[in-house]
Amino acid sequence: MSDKQPTLLGRSGGRRFLKPFARQQEQRPPIWLMRQAGRYLPEYREVRTRAGSFLDLCYSPELAVEVTLQPIRRYGFDAAIVFSDILVVPDALGQAVSFVEGEGPRLDPVSSAADLARLDPLRVPARLAPVYETVRRCREALPAEVALIGFCGAPWTVATYMAGGRGTPDQAAARLWAYRDPNGFDRLVELVTSASIDYLTGQVAAGADALQIFDSWAGSLPDSEFDRWVVAPTRRIVGALKARHPDVPVIGFPRGAGEKTARYARETGVDGVGCDTSLSLGTMKALAGTEGVVAQGNLDPLLLVAGGAALETRVRQILAAMQGLPFVFNLGHGIVPQTPPEHVARLVDLVRGQG
Protein backbone atom coordinates (compact mmCIF):
# COMPACT_ATOMS: atom_id res chain seq x y z
CA MET A 1 0.00 0.00 0.00
CA SER A 2 1.34 3.39 -0.85
CA ASP A 3 1.83 6.22 1.62
CA LYS A 4 -0.18 8.62 -0.57
CA GLN A 5 -3.33 6.57 -0.08
CA PRO A 6 -4.75 8.47 2.94
CA THR A 7 -4.99 11.79 1.07
CA LEU A 8 -7.09 10.13 -1.62
CA LEU A 9 -9.28 8.20 0.78
CA GLY A 10 -12.88 9.15 0.95
CA ARG A 11 -12.59 11.80 -1.76
CA SER A 12 -14.32 9.92 -4.55
CA GLY A 13 -17.53 11.86 -4.00
CA GLY A 14 -19.56 9.02 -5.48
CA ARG A 15 -17.66 9.07 -8.78
CA ARG A 16 -16.96 5.47 -9.70
CA PHE A 17 -13.82 6.39 -11.62
CA LEU A 18 -12.21 7.80 -8.45
CA LYS A 19 -13.02 4.83 -6.21
CA PRO A 20 -9.98 2.66 -7.02
CA PHE A 21 -7.77 5.64 -6.10
CA ALA A 22 -9.53 5.82 -2.72
CA ARG A 23 -9.15 2.01 -2.41
CA GLN A 24 -12.90 1.59 -2.65
CA GLN A 25 -12.76 -0.79 -5.62
CA GLU A 26 -16.19 -2.07 -6.54
CA GLN A 27 -17.16 -5.34 -8.16
CA ARG A 28 -17.02 -3.91 -11.66
CA PRO A 29 -14.16 -1.55 -12.52
CA PRO A 30 -14.63 1.96 -13.90
CA ILE A 31 -14.16 2.30 -17.67
CA TRP A 32 -13.03 5.07 -20.02
CA LEU A 33 -10.99 4.80 -23.22
CA MET A 34 -7.98 6.75 -24.41
CA ARG A 35 -8.97 8.85 -27.47
CA GLN A 36 -12.63 8.16 -26.72
CA ALA A 37 -13.47 11.38 -28.58
CA GLY A 38 -12.32 11.13 -32.17
CA ARG A 39 -12.70 10.17 -35.77
CA TYR A 40 -14.40 6.79 -35.18
CA LEU A 41 -17.53 8.77 -34.16
CA PRO A 42 -19.60 10.33 -36.99
CA GLU A 43 -20.72 13.11 -34.64
CA TYR A 44 -17.03 13.99 -34.00
CA ARG A 45 -16.28 14.12 -37.73
CA GLU A 46 -19.19 16.50 -38.19
CA VAL A 47 -17.90 18.96 -35.54
CA ARG A 48 -14.31 18.53 -36.76
CA THR A 49 -15.36 19.66 -40.26
CA ARG A 50 -17.13 22.70 -38.84
CA ALA A 51 -14.13 23.68 -36.67
CA GLY A 52 -11.64 24.30 -39.48
CA SER A 53 -8.22 23.32 -38.20
CA PHE A 54 -7.62 20.76 -35.47
CA LEU A 55 -6.08 23.40 -33.18
CA ASP A 56 -9.12 25.64 -33.77
CA LEU A 57 -11.18 22.78 -32.39
CA CYS A 58 -8.89 22.50 -29.32
CA TYR A 59 -9.12 26.26 -28.69
CA SER A 60 -12.91 26.65 -29.24
CA PRO A 61 -14.52 25.87 -25.86
CA GLU A 62 -18.00 25.43 -27.30
CA LEU A 63 -16.89 22.81 -29.86
CA ALA A 64 -14.32 21.18 -27.56
CA VAL A 65 -17.00 20.72 -24.87
CA GLU A 66 -19.30 19.17 -27.45
CA VAL A 67 -16.75 16.56 -28.59
CA THR A 68 -15.72 15.83 -24.98
CA LEU A 69 -19.34 15.01 -24.12
CA GLN A 70 -20.16 12.99 -27.26
CA PRO A 71 -18.68 9.68 -26.03
CA ILE A 72 -20.26 10.18 -22.58
CA ARG A 73 -23.72 10.59 -24.13
CA ARG A 74 -23.26 7.57 -26.36
CA TYR A 75 -21.66 5.15 -23.89
CA GLY A 76 -21.94 6.58 -20.37
CA PHE A 77 -18.23 6.14 -19.61
CA ASP A 78 -17.22 6.71 -15.97
CA ALA A 79 -14.83 9.50 -17.00
CA ALA A 80 -14.60 12.13 -19.71
CA ILE A 81 -11.20 13.37 -20.90
CA VAL A 82 -11.08 17.02 -21.83
CA PHE A 83 -10.70 17.49 -25.57
CA SER A 84 -7.34 19.03 -26.37
CA ASP A 85 -3.94 17.70 -27.46
CA ILE A 86 -0.50 17.21 -25.94
CA LEU A 87 0.93 19.55 -28.61
CA VAL A 88 -0.94 22.63 -27.37
CA VAL A 89 1.97 23.09 -24.94
CA PRO A 90 4.62 23.66 -27.66
CA ASP A 91 2.06 25.70 -29.56
CA ALA A 92 1.49 27.88 -26.48
CA LEU A 93 5.26 28.29 -26.02
CA GLY A 94 5.38 29.79 -29.52
CA GLN A 95 6.52 26.87 -31.68
CA ALA A 96 4.32 26.78 -34.78
CA VAL A 97 2.20 23.57 -34.74
CA SER A 98 -0.17 22.41 -37.46
CA PHE A 99 -1.99 19.18 -38.22
CA VAL A 100 -1.85 17.92 -41.79
CA GLU A 101 -4.85 15.81 -42.79
CA GLY A 102 -3.87 12.15 -42.91
CA GLU A 103 -0.25 12.90 -41.93
CA GLY A 104 -0.35 14.05 -38.31
CA PRO A 105 1.35 16.97 -36.58
CA ARG A 106 3.97 19.26 -38.12
CA LEU A 107 6.16 21.63 -36.05
CA ASP A 108 9.10 23.89 -36.96
CA PRO A 109 11.77 21.74 -35.27
CA VAL A 110 13.77 23.21 -32.39
CA SER A 111 17.39 22.09 -32.26
CA SER A 112 19.52 24.83 -30.71
CA ALA A 113 19.83 27.32 -27.89
CA ALA A 114 18.76 30.04 -30.34
CA ASP A 115 15.55 28.10 -31.15
CA LEU A 116 14.85 27.67 -27.44
CA ALA A 117 15.37 31.38 -26.82
CA ARG A 118 12.48 32.09 -29.19
CA LEU A 119 10.06 30.09 -27.02
CA ASP A 120 8.29 32.20 -24.42
CA PRO A 121 6.74 30.67 -21.27
CA LEU A 122 4.99 33.98 -20.60
CA ARG A 123 2.67 33.35 -23.58
CA VAL A 124 1.41 30.09 -22.11
CA PRO A 125 -1.36 31.18 -19.69
CA ALA A 126 -3.24 33.35 -22.22
CA ARG A 127 -2.85 30.86 -25.06
CA LEU A 128 -4.15 27.95 -22.96
CA ALA A 129 -6.99 29.89 -21.32
CA PRO A 130 -9.56 28.46 -23.80
CA VAL A 131 -8.68 24.92 -22.66
CA TYR A 132 -9.34 25.91 -19.04
CA GLU A 133 -12.67 27.36 -20.15
CA THR A 134 -13.45 24.01 -21.83
CA VAL A 135 -12.66 22.21 -18.56
CA ARG A 136 -14.91 24.58 -16.60
CA ARG A 137 -17.83 24.12 -18.99
CA CYS A 138 -17.35 20.34 -19.18
CA ARG A 139 -17.42 20.00 -15.39
CA GLU A 140 -20.65 22.02 -15.31
CA ALA A 141 -22.27 20.02 -18.09
CA LEU A 142 -21.22 16.52 -17.00
CA PRO A 143 -23.45 14.37 -14.81
CA ALA A 144 -22.17 14.51 -11.21
CA GLU A 145 -21.16 10.83 -11.25
CA VAL A 146 -18.85 11.21 -14.29
CA ALA A 147 -15.27 12.26 -13.49
CA LEU A 148 -13.36 14.72 -15.67
CA ILE A 149 -9.75 13.92 -16.58
CA GLY A 150 -7.28 16.66 -17.54
CA PHE A 151 -4.01 15.76 -19.27
CA CYS A 152 -0.69 16.76 -20.74
CA GLY A 153 2.06 15.04 -22.66
CA ALA A 154 5.10 13.99 -20.65
CA PRO A 155 8.09 16.28 -21.27
CA TRP A 156 10.08 13.51 -23.02
CA THR A 157 7.28 12.70 -25.48
CA VAL A 158 6.47 16.37 -26.16
CA ALA A 159 10.20 17.06 -26.68
CA THR A 160 10.40 14.26 -29.29
CA TYR A 161 7.79 16.11 -31.38
CA MET A 162 9.43 19.50 -30.76
CA ALA A 163 12.86 18.23 -31.81
CA GLY A 164 11.68 15.99 -34.65
CA GLY A 165 9.11 18.39 -36.06
CA ARG A 166 6.68 15.50 -36.47
CA GLY A 167 5.89 12.03 -35.18
CA THR A 168 8.93 9.88 -35.98
CA PRO A 169 9.34 6.10 -35.84
CA ASP A 170 12.46 6.21 -33.63
CA GLN A 171 12.47 9.67 -32.00
CA ALA A 172 16.03 10.02 -33.32
CA ALA A 173 16.26 13.83 -33.23
CA ALA A 174 15.49 14.02 -29.50
CA ARG A 175 17.63 11.00 -28.63
CA LEU A 176 20.62 12.39 -30.54
CA TRP A 177 20.24 15.85 -29.00
CA ALA A 178 20.09 14.25 -25.54
CA TYR A 179 23.33 12.28 -26.21
CA ARG A 180 25.27 15.09 -27.89
CA ASP A 181 24.24 18.01 -25.69
CA PRO A 182 22.46 16.77 -22.54
CA ASN A 183 22.52 20.19 -20.87
CA GLY A 184 20.99 21.91 -23.90
CA PHE A 185 18.34 19.20 -24.23
CA ASP A 186 17.69 19.51 -20.49
CA ARG A 187 16.74 23.16 -21.01
CA LEU A 188 14.07 22.08 -23.50
CA VAL A 189 12.78 19.40 -21.13
CA GLU A 190 12.75 21.90 -18.23
CA LEU A 191 10.80 24.41 -20.30
CA VAL A 192 8.18 21.80 -21.18
CA THR A 193 8.09 20.49 -17.60
CA SER A 194 7.35 23.94 -16.14
CA ALA A 195 4.73 24.69 -18.79
CA SER A 196 3.13 21.29 -18.15
CA ILE A 197 2.92 21.95 -14.41
CA ASP A 198 1.13 25.23 -15.16
CA TYR A 199 -1.11 23.52 -17.70
CA LEU A 200 -2.19 20.74 -15.34
CA THR A 201 -2.60 23.14 -12.41
CA GLY A 202 -4.83 25.32 -14.59
CA GLN A 203 -6.96 22.32 -15.51
CA VAL A 204 -7.39 21.31 -11.85
CA ALA A 205 -8.27 24.89 -10.90
CA ALA A 206 -10.91 24.82 -13.65
CA GLY A 207 -12.46 21.58 -12.36
CA ALA A 208 -10.50 18.51 -13.50
CA ASP A 209 -10.94 15.62 -11.01
CA ALA A 210 -7.90 13.60 -12.11
CA LEU A 211 -4.93 13.97 -14.45
CA GLN A 212 -3.12 11.78 -16.96
CA ILE A 213 0.43 12.30 -18.24
CA PHE A 214 0.86 10.69 -21.69
CA ASP A 215 4.41 9.42 -22.29
CA SER A 216 3.70 7.71 -25.59
CA TRP A 217 7.41 7.42 -26.51
CA ALA A 218 8.78 6.38 -23.10
CA GLY A 219 9.72 3.05 -24.70
CA SER A 220 12.28 4.55 -27.08
CA LEU A 221 14.84 5.28 -24.35
CA PRO A 222 17.44 2.78 -23.16
CA ASP A 223 17.78 2.06 -19.48
CA SER A 224 20.65 4.53 -19.07
CA GLU A 225 18.53 7.49 -20.27
CA PHE A 226 15.13 6.52 -18.87
CA ASP A 227 15.55 8.00 -15.39
CA ARG A 228 16.82 11.37 -16.58
CA TRP A 229 14.31 12.04 -19.37
CA VAL A 230 11.22 10.03 -18.33
CA VAL A 231 11.26 9.49 -14.55
CA ALA A 232 12.79 12.78 -13.31
CA PRO A 233 10.58 15.25 -15.25
CA THR A 234 7.47 13.20 -14.43
CA ARG A 235 8.42 13.13 -10.75
CA ARG A 236 8.81 16.91 -10.84
CA ILE A 237 5.34 17.33 -12.36
CA VAL A 238 3.71 14.91 -9.91
CA GLY A 239 5.49 16.55 -6.94
CA ALA A 240 4.35 20.04 -7.94
CA LEU A 241 0.76 18.86 -8.44
CA LYS A 242 0.72 16.94 -5.16
CA ALA A 243 2.03 19.99 -3.27
CA ARG A 244 -0.96 21.99 -4.50
CA HIS A 245 -3.63 19.34 -4.95
CA PRO A 246 -2.82 16.22 -2.89
CA ASP A 247 -6.29 14.78 -3.46
CA VAL A 248 -6.22 14.81 -7.27
CA PRO A 249 -5.07 11.42 -8.65
CA VAL A 250 -2.34 11.49 -11.29
CA ILE A 251 -2.02 8.63 -13.80
CA GLY A 252 1.18 8.15 -15.77
CA PHE A 253 1.16 6.34 -19.12
CA PRO A 254 4.75 5.30 -19.91
CA ARG A 255 3.98 3.45 -23.13
CA GLY A 256 6.55 0.83 -24.02
CA ALA A 257 8.43 1.08 -20.70
CA GLY A 258 8.17 -2.71 -20.27
CA GLU A 259 10.26 -4.00 -17.37
CA LYS A 260 10.96 -0.38 -16.30
CA THR A 261 7.26 0.23 -15.58
CA ALA A 262 7.42 -0.80 -11.89
CA ARG A 263 10.39 1.51 -11.32
CA TYR A 264 8.46 4.30 -13.04
CA ALA A 265 5.49 3.66 -10.72
CA ARG A 266 7.67 3.74 -7.62
CA GLU A 267 9.90 6.68 -8.46
CA THR A 268 7.55 9.15 -10.12
CA GLY A 269 4.95 9.12 -7.32
CA VAL A 270 2.01 8.62 -9.71
CA ASP A 271 -1.21 7.20 -8.24
CA GLY A 272 -2.05 5.15 -11.30
CA VAL A 273 -0.17 3.59 -14.21
CA GLY A 274 -1.61 3.32 -17.71
CA CYS A 275 -0.53 -0.10 -18.95
CA ASP A 276 0.14 -0.55 -22.64
CA THR A 277 -0.93 -3.58 -24.66
CA SER A 278 2.41 -5.35 -24.30
CA LEU A 279 2.31 -5.64 -20.48
CA SER A 280 1.23 -9.03 -19.15
CA LEU A 281 -1.71 -9.41 -16.83
CA GLY A 282 0.82 -10.66 -14.25
CA THR A 283 2.67 -7.34 -14.45
CA MET A 284 -0.60 -5.41 -14.13
CA LYS A 285 -1.53 -7.45 -11.06
CA ALA A 286 1.88 -6.77 -9.51
CA LEU A 287 1.50 -3.02 -10.15
CA ALA A 288 -1.92 -2.96 -8.52
CA GLY A 289 -0.87 -5.33 -5.73
CA THR A 290 2.77 -5.05 -4.64
CA GLU A 291 3.46 -1.61 -6.09
CA GLY A 292 0.30 -0.12 -4.62
CA VAL A 293 -0.81 1.91 -7.66
CA VAL A 294 -4.03 1.75 -9.63
CA ALA A 295 -3.46 -0.24 -12.83
CA GLN A 296 -5.26 1.03 -15.92
CA GLY A 297 -5.47 -0.78 -19.23
CA ASN A 298 -4.75 -2.67 -21.36
CA LEU A 299 -7.02 -4.05 -24.10
CA ASP A 300 -5.48 -4.05 -27.57
CA PRO A 301 -7.23 -1.27 -29.57
CA LEU A 302 -7.29 -3.62 -32.57
CA LEU A 303 -9.46 -6.08 -30.63
CA LEU A 304 -11.99 -3.27 -30.51
CA VAL A 305 -11.80 -3.12 -34.30
CA ALA A 306 -12.05 -6.93 -34.63
CA GLY A 307 -14.93 -7.34 -32.15
CA GLY A 308 -16.70 -10.70 -31.76
CA ALA A 309 -15.42 -13.66 -29.75
CA ALA A 310 -11.80 -12.45 -29.72
CA LEU A 311 -12.85 -9.22 -28.01
CA GLU A 312 -15.09 -10.98 -25.50
CA THR A 313 -12.51 -13.58 -24.52
CA ARG A 314 -9.82 -11.02 -23.83
CA VAL A 315 -12.12 -8.64 -21.93
CA ARG A 316 -13.20 -11.49 -19.64
CA GLN A 317 -9.55 -12.49 -19.11
CA ILE A 318 -8.58 -8.97 -18.08
CA LEU A 319 -11.58 -8.58 -15.77
CA ALA A 320 -10.91 -11.94 -14.09
CA ALA A 321 -7.20 -11.21 -13.59
CA MET A 322 -7.82 -7.77 -12.06
CA GLN A 323 -10.80 -8.75 -9.90
CA GLY A 324 -10.55 -7.18 -6.44
CA LEU A 325 -7.46 -5.09 -7.27
CA PRO A 326 -7.39 -1.29 -7.76
CA PHE A 327 -8.07 -1.21 -11.49
CA VAL A 328 -9.53 1.00 -14.23
CA PHE A 329 -10.54 -0.65 -17.50
CA ASN A 330 -9.03 1.03 -20.58
CA LEU A 331 -7.22 0.25 -23.80
CA GLY A 332 -3.46 -0.23 -24.04
CA HIS A 333 -3.31 2.77 -26.43
CA GLY A 334 -5.84 5.09 -28.11
CA ILE A 335 -8.92 4.04 -30.08
CA VAL A 336 -8.12 3.86 -33.78
CA PRO A 337 -10.32 5.68 -36.35
CA GLN A 338 -11.59 2.47 -38.04
CA THR A 339 -13.19 1.22 -34.78
CA PRO A 340 -16.90 0.40 -35.30
CA PRO A 341 -18.85 2.43 -32.68
CA GLU A 342 -21.06 -0.62 -31.93
CA HIS A 343 -18.00 -2.57 -30.77
CA VAL A 344 -17.38 0.13 -28.16
CA ALA A 345 -20.97 -0.28 -26.94
CA ARG A 346 -20.39 -4.05 -26.72
CA LEU A 347 -17.20 -3.51 -24.71
CA VAL A 348 -18.97 -1.25 -22.23
CA ASP A 349 -21.72 -3.87 -21.77
CA LEU A 350 -19.12 -6.60 -21.20
CA VAL A 351 -17.30 -4.57 -18.55
CA ARG A 352 -20.59 -3.65 -16.88
CA GLY A 353 -21.54 -7.32 -16.71
CA GLN A 354 -24.45 -7.13 -19.14
CA GLY A 355 -22.70 -9.28 -21.70
**CA–CA gap between residue 211 and residue 188 (Å, rounded):** 23
Between 35 and 228, name the residue whose CB sits nearer to ligand CP3: 35
Q: Binding of ligand CP3 at residue 104 (CB under 6 A)?
A: yes
Min CB(230)–ligand CP3 separation in Å: 14
Q: Catalytic residue, from 39, 106, 127, 352: name it.
A: 39
Min CB(145)–ligand CP3 separation in Å: 19
Between 37 and 232, name the residue whose CB sits nearer to ligand CP3: 37
> Among all residues, whose Cβ is closest to ligand CP3?
216
Q: Binding of ligand CP3 at residue 334 (CB under 6 A)?
A: yes
Q: Is-catalytic flag, 263? A: no
The amino acid at 233: P
**CA–CA gap between residue 137 and residue 335 (Å, rounded):** 25
Between 20 and 301, name the residue whose CB sits nearer to ligand CP3: 301
Q: Is-catalytic flag, 161? A: yes
- Binds ligand CP3 (CB under 6 A): choice among 19, 48, 235, 236: 48
Task: Give the interface segment with ligand CP3, choosing from 31-39, 194-202, 274-282, 340-348 (CB under 6 A).
Answer: 31-39
Between 22 and 81, name the residue whose CB sits nearer to ligand CP3: 81
5, 103, 143, 155, 277 from 217: Cα distances, Å: 29, 18, 34, 10, 14
Min CB(307)–ligand CP3 separation in Å: 20
Q: Binding of ligand CP3 at residue 332 (CB under 6 A)?
A: no
Categorise residue 165: left if φ over 0, alpha if ψ from -120 to 50, beta otherwise. Answer: left
Q: Which residues contact 96 (CB under 8 A, 6 or more apart)?
A: 107, 108
Q: Binding of ligand CP3 at residue 74 (CB under 6 A)?
A: no
Q: Catalytic residue, from 85, 91, 209, 276: name it.
A: 85
Min CB(293)–ligand CP3 separation in Å: 19
Residues numbered 164 to 203 that lie near ligand CP3 (CB under 6 A) are: 167
Between 4 and 175, name the residue whose CB sits nearer to ligand CP3: 175
Three-state SS across the chain? CCCCHHHHCCCCCCCHHHHHHHCCCCCCCCECCCCCCCCCCHHHHHHHHHHCCHHHHHCCHHHHHHHHHHHHHHHCCCEEECCCCCCHHHHHHCCCEEEECCCEEEECCCCCHHHHHCCCHHHHHHHHHHHHHHHHHHHHHCCCCCEEEEEEECHHHHHHHHHHCECCCCCHHHHHHHHHCHHHHHHHHHHHHHHHHHHHHHHHHHCCCEEEEEECCHHHCCHHHHHHHHHHHHHHHHHHHHHHCCCCCEEEEECCCHHHHHHHHHHHCCCEEECCCCCCHHHHHHHHCCCCCEEEEEECHHHHHHCHHHHHHHHHHHHHHHCCCCEEEEECCCCCCCCCHHHHHHHHHHHCCCC
Q: Is-catalytic flag, 39? A: yes
Q: Binding of ligand CP3 at residue 81 (CB under 6 A)?
A: yes
Residues numbered 258 to 287 that lie near ligand CP3 (CB under 6 A) are: none
Site size toward ligand CP3 (CB under 6 A) is 21
Between 151 and 185, name the residue whose CB sits nearer to ligand CP3: 151
Q: Is-catalytic flag, 35? A: yes
- Binds ligand CP3 (CB under 6 A): choice among 8, 18, 22, 34: 34
Task: Give the interface segment with ligand CP3, choosing from 33-41, 178-186, 199-207, 231-239 (CB under 6 A).
Answer: 33-41
Q: Is-catalytic flag, 120? A: no
Catalytic machinery residues: 35, 39, 48, 85, 161
Question: Where on the chain is the footprint of ligand CP3 (CB under 6 A)?
Answer: 34-39, 48, 54, 81, 83, 85-87, 99, 104-105, 151, 167, 214, 216, 334
